[in-house]
Amino acid sequence: MTVTLTSDIKTTNRCRIIVSVTNDLVTDQRVHRACMAMHEAGYCVTLVGRRLQGSERVERPYRTQRMRLLFKRKALFYAEYNIRLFFKLLFSRADCFYANDTDTLLANYCAARIRGKALFFDAHEMFPEVPELVGRPAVKRVWQGIEDWILPRMARRMKEQQGGGRMAAVTVCQSIADIYRERYGLEMGVVRNVPMRRRKAIATSIEKQNILLYQGAVNIGRGIEWVMDAMRYLPDYRFVIAGVGDVYDKLRAKNNADNVVFMGRLEPEKLYELTLSARLGISLLENRGLNYYYSLPNRIADFVQAGVPVLATDFPEIRRVVEGYGIGTLVPPQPFDAENCCSEPPDAKELARKIEETVSFWDAMAEDERQTRFAKAAADLSWDNDKKTLLEKINYLVIKP
């Protein structure tokens, strides 16, 4: 196990919170924002994840620990991770266990119940509905079974909330919170996956280029290949893909267009500078289950903070933001082919036309109108707002009345 400690952490009587994830900590900005919010509020935070071969060094103002695991993928990985995490929590000094997503929930719940500790569940998505489980009903049943066993018990516990071992839960949008309430009676707060507010004015000195930008995880069902196919009809534009993921190597190997550029993973400030120069942000999702259908991709908020309009799929939470603030254009979702577990691709020429129309619309808009729309959206889609909800929940769990 590798442990990273920083010199500004002192051993005190502050409430101790152990936060757990199944990734290597490097790129998970949502979890980092949550840990920083708790750290700055005076909590003693330890973030636990895993170490991969080639994982970059992690330096944070709170404690981090990464476990080296024997198994890297699938069932054996999740089993090993949760068993080791359970025993770690069982013997760690802590006041609250913070589970990120269902893949860490089993170990956290069992340890919290045995030790009478507070439990906080942060559902970044509807885990049994992730696209990777589409077409894998047996695996999906396992994760659904874990939620079916734990979440009703959490709901009952949250209604009682007597003595030690309080519990609370949040998720990323109201639509998912409504589903969990109807399914399990679980009351969840909403802490959106949105970035920190960029206080300085959007840099006007950065010249806009004919860049269509996708940023974030390069995973299945993100519509990246659709835009790649449309680029042959957009010779004056470049499609820039910033990020890595499950299908990154596959798409990069397939690419034979000069105006499609794979940037890989970028540091946050370099990514922000790239975003500022883009003409249009791309967020086209396939209808791969409820998890995508009710998602609000954090890249949309990132585009908003940089004043970049978006072309996005017309799903409920996305529509609420894009139409509500007038910061982009929506396109209907493509029909989903259940037999082949994929969406029918759009007509490449028609998609290219839609992209050009959207760019032309924003080029013709008065600058003061554009600035007004994005300023209003940026003020709302900001971590400054959502961290207040997070800290209210944490304070309720660990501060004695």
Average pLDDT, 10 consecutive residues per value, the chain (401 residues): 37 79 90 96 96 88 94 89 97 96 97 96 91 82 96 93 81 95 96 83 63 94 96 97 93 94 90 94 91 91 95 96 96 83 89 97 94 94 95 88 57
Chain centre distance of CA 34? 12
Say which CATH topology domain 211-381 has.
Rossmann fold (3.40.50)
- pLDDT for the residue numbered 187: 95
Quick check: 61 and 41 in contact, CB under 8 A? Answer: no
- List the domain boundaries for the chain: 2-194+384-398, 211-381
Identical fold for domains 2-194+384-398 and 211-381, yes or no, is: yes
Q: What is the DSSP string of 312-378?
A: EE--HHHHHHHHHHT-EEEEPPPPEETTTTEEPPPPHHHHHHHHHHHHHHHHHS-HHHHHHHHHHHH
* In this structure, CATH architecture of domain 2-194+384-398: 3-Layer(aba) Sandwich (3.40)
Q: What is the pTM of this model?
A: 0.88
∠332-336-337 over CA atoms, to 5°? Answer: 155
Beta strands in 167-256 (DSSP E): 167-171, 189-190, 211-215, 238-242
Report the C-alpha gap between 283 and 8 in whole angstroms.
40
Q: Which residue has the tokens 């691709």?
A: 345
For residue 9, what pLDDT is reported?
38
Helix (H) or strand (E) holding 47: strand 44-51
How many helices (H) and strands (E) in the chain? 14, 16
Predicted confidence at residue 199, as pLDDT, reads: 59
Q: How many CB atoms lie within 10 A of CB 253?
A: 8
